[in-house]
Amino acid sequence: MFRRILRPRTFFTLLAGLCLALAAGCQGTPRQQTPYGSYVPADQPRAVSNPLTVPGYDPYVLWETVVDVTRLYFWRIRDEHPCQKSDDMITEGLLITFPQVGATWLEPWRRDSADTAERNLATLQSIRRTAHIRVRATSEGYLIDVRVLKELEDLAVPSESRLPSAVFRQDTDITEMQDPIAVQDVHAGWIPLGRDTALEQEMLRQLQARLPGR
């Protein structure tokens, strides 16, 4: 039946052609590609100073660039005080995001887990991050300070644990129900892990690429 449909010589000819096409496609693909939505060139140095020094741009253009870069990694902004020009003075800008749960391996489109180690950690643990960006005007331009704080969820017991009926639980405290509208501590139940320098560097590289020296 196979010989009637396709001769062996024809089959091997088609197979060889397919292999050549795949090899040509792999050679034509560049090794380093700029990610979608990223302005960072492939040959840009990895280490960026924090705070980052940028030249004297218009305050509105500068602040819109800062917000645009922040939204690449964080969905919601909690506080935003943009830089404003009053006579010859430029006010200081401050941007703070809401805490955001870290991206896992099941969410490859998200950028807030900047490297493999951070994405592994966010996949195995409950991690969240908050960005604090401060912009100050200087005689030479602006200083952009990026701080990303990382926290680990603090649970008394694993959230998906299933204890058998013969085991007596030790956490006998009564959970107090609070009004969700009332003001609560946003850090309750989270353990500070310090700063996420990997994400800070990623955001600074984006800012440096969008605000080059003149």
Tell which wins on pLDDT, 103 or 40.
103
Q: Which two tokens stand for residue 5?
A: 């449909």
User: Which residues, including other chains, have CB under 8 Å from residue 46's CB and lie 6 or more apart?
Assistant: 201, 205
104 vs 86, which has greater pLDDT? 104
pLDDT for the residue numbered 12:
60
On the question of pLDDT at 73 being above 90, the answer is: yes
**Average pLDDT score, the chain:** 78
Distance CA 124, CA 104 (A): 8
Annotated domain spans of the chain: 43-156+189-214
Among residues 57, 77, 58, the alpha carbon closest in space to that of 67 is found at 77
Q: By mean pLDDT, which of 21-30, 144-153, 179-188, 195-204 is the weakest?
A: 21-30
Angle in degrees, 0-180, between the axes of helices 197-210 and 59-70, rounded to the nearest 10: 140
Task: Report the distance separating Cα 42 and Cα 121, nearest Å.
Answer: 26
Q: Which residue has the higher pLDDT, 64 or 188?
A: 64
pTM over 0.85: no
User: Which amino acid would we find at residue 10?
Assistant: T
Q: For the chain, give me the number of helices (H) and strands (E)? A: 5, 9
Work out the angle between the directed axes of helices 197-210 and 116-124 (0-180°, nearest 10). Answer: 130
- Predicted confidence band of residue 118 (pLDDT cuts 50, 70, 90): very high
Q: Hey, what are 125's tokens?
A: 């643990």
Over residues 155-188, the pLDDT tens digits come to 766 655 565 555 555 555 555 555 555 555 555 7
Residue 3 has pLDDT above 60, yes or no: no
What is the pLDDT at residue 37? 52
Compute the C-alpha angle 88/90/95, nearest 5°: 170
**How far does Cα 110 stand from its chain's mean position?**
6
Instruction: Find the helix or strand (DSSP H, E) in which 205 lies.
Output: helix 197-210
Q: Average pLDDT of 46-51?
A: 85
Integer CA distances (angstroms), 109 to 72, 102, 105, in order: 10, 12, 9
3-class state of residue 168 by DSSP: coil
